[in-house]
Amino acid sequence: MIQTGEIYGKQTANKFVMYNVLKVSKQVVTLQNIDNPLSLFETTEQKLASSGYVRISQTPYIDLASTSTKRKKAAKKPTRCPLTLDFLEERADCERPAPIMPDLFNQ
């Protein structure tokens, strides 16, 4: 089950892209690109899994360096301090999660 605040990622041809889960309803999951906060898209839980997205983190990512004021509504208010260290994931909310990369070259 997908929950708001989780981070999902997908390997593309040349980079690993990560997305925040902004909203989850009965049928639709709304994702926001971490590198481009204005990039949002909606999908279903089944399409997300079948398209190769994997859960990277259950802890939200909050970009403290973001200074854009154009779309304050797109920015989600943190539910806890961005400097809180999550010892299970070994990072603070303001630190980017490490992508989980499959070891494709040593198989």
Q: What is the pLDDT of residues 30-65, one digit of tens each?
A: 999 998 888 999 999 999 989 989 999 988 888 887
50 located within any domain: yes
Cα-based distances in Å from 86 to 7, 17, 80, 81, 91? 14, 22, 11, 11, 6
8 Å CB contact between 78 and 93: yes
Considering the domain boundaries, does residue 53 fall inside one? Answer: yes
**Residue 106: what pLDDT?**
46
Residue 6 near residue 58, CB atoms below 8 Å: yes
Q: Tell me whether residue 1 is in a domain.
A: no
Q: By residue range, what is the domain housing residue 15?
A: 7-63+77-92
Closest CA to 44 of 59, 29, 25: 29
Q: Please check whether residue 27 lies inside any domain of the structure.
A: yes
State whether the Cα torsion 93-78-24-42 is positive or negative: negative
What pLDDT is stored for residue 28 in this prediction? Answer: 94
Tokens 């999902």: give the residue.
Answer: 8
Whether 99 is in a domain gets the answer: no
Across the beta sheet with 7-11, what order do the strands follow? 40-43, 29-33, 16-24, 7-11, 54-57
| 62 three-state secondary structure | coil
**Domain membership flag for residue 98:** no
Summarised one tens digit per residue, pLDDT across range 63-93 is 887 666 655 555 556 667 777 788 778 888 8
If one counts the domains in the chain, the total is 1
- Residue 89: what pLDDT? 80
